[in-house]
Amino acid sequence: MVQSAQNFQRSRSAMRFTTIPTTGNIYFVDSVTGSSTGGGSPEAPCATIAQALSLCTASNGDIIYLYPTHAESIGASGLAWNKAGVSIIGLGIGALRPTLTWHTTDAVVTVSAANMLIKNIRTTVDLDEVVSMFLVTGAGVTFDEVDFVEGTSAQAIQWLLTTNAADYLTIKNCRHIQINAAGSAQKWIQLVGPDYTKIVDNTFLIVAAASTSSELISGSTAVIYCEIARNLCLFIGATIDSVINLVTGSTGIISDNRIGSGTSVAITAAITGDGCFMFNNLWADTAAASGLLTPAVDTDT
């Protein structure tokens, strides 16, 4: 593939930012130094993610880099991430990473394109009871190190919702912290029937709304051949029934998760997976005590 001189120069300038090989184009976004007329180069970045996405070519391996200073507020009109194969990657470490803030209760980022990567971004809300932050309808979408940081006196009800078209969804290496409960029942990650979902190596520290409907990972429609493994889950709520709850017909592997929950949760109900195989999951409902195997240990029959 022959790039234009402009794109070749942009790619050379970008080499200091990435070790990810690509034959696609590279664009930069910064709400501080960027402008609506910026072409996406490091010297003239775009001002918004939508602007950079409009420059991308679907399924071309294009990458959008967000400067550490980049910040976007997401309102009622939401955002549409709809270019297949595009990676949206934040630069920076810790709090010095780009931040997306949901600004209305009905704000949502819809990821409808297939094979998108979202990586190294902070997400937060600045008002209470944000209904659902991400809606994933495309297949092969990956969230990697996409953290949630609690806003001041503001809580989200749900971080991510899918449709059944969101097959091969991956959520990994994320850290979500919300120490004040939302006012409504929470299904923090709600899977509505996607196949081959992978939720691995995340940390969730969430005080849940006191409701028997509150769940950390919810498969409200059967999920097929899922993998939920090696997550650290503290999901505290006065009357919650379960932490991981996949409905009848779900299959896959739920393994090596570490779960702390409210005292209302029974050891047999902390994880419900119907047809999933369970290996070495530990659960506790009190601090300073080692976890117990959940669900019950299999017997040799």
Would you kindly state where each structural domain of the chain is located, as residue ranges?
73-293
Using alpha carbons, select from 214, 204, 160, 205 the residue that is nearest to residue 182: 214
Report the pLDDT value the prediction gives residue 79, as an integer from 0 to 100.
96
Distance between CA atoms of residues 184 and 24, nearest Å: 43
Please say whether the beta carbons of 202 and 172 come within 8 A. Answer: yes
230: left (phi over 0), alpha (psi -120 to 50) or beta: left
- pLDDT of 152 reads 80
Tell me the sheet residues that pair with 119. 89, 144
pLDDT of residue 13: 52
Q: How far is Cα 222 from Cα 249, in angstroms, rounded to an integer?
A: 5
Q: CA–CA separation, 8 vs 25, rounded Å?
A: 8
| Residue 51, Cβ density class (10 Å: 0-12 exposed, 13-18 middle, ≥19 buried) | buried
Q: What is the DSSP letter of 17?
A: T
Q: What distances in angstroms separate CA 26 from CA 6, 18, 118, 180, 293, one per listed residue? A: 11, 10, 15, 39, 47
- C-alpha distances in angstroms, 34 versus 53, 100, 272? 14, 16, 48
Here the tokens at position 196 are: 């081959």
Helix (H) or strand (E) holding 178: strand 175-178
Contact 169, 136 (CB under 8 A): yes
What is the fold of 73-293?
Pectate Lyase C-like (2.160.20)
Structure tokens that stand for 69 in this block: 């200073």
| pLDDT value of position 282 | 95
Query: Residue 21 to residues 39, 90, 119, 300: CA-CA distances in angstroms?
Result: 21, 16, 15, 49
Q: What kind and span of H or E run contains 14?
A: helix 5-14
**What is the signed CA dihedral for 57, 59, 60, 63, rounded to 10 degrees?**
80
pLDDT at residue 301 in the model: 66
pLDDT at 298: 85
Inter-residue contact 114 to 87 (CB < 8 Å) = no
pLDDT along the chain (301 residues), means of 10: 46 54 91 95 96 97 96 96 97 96 97 98 96 98 97 92 98 97 94 98 95 94 98 90 93 97 79 94 89 86 66
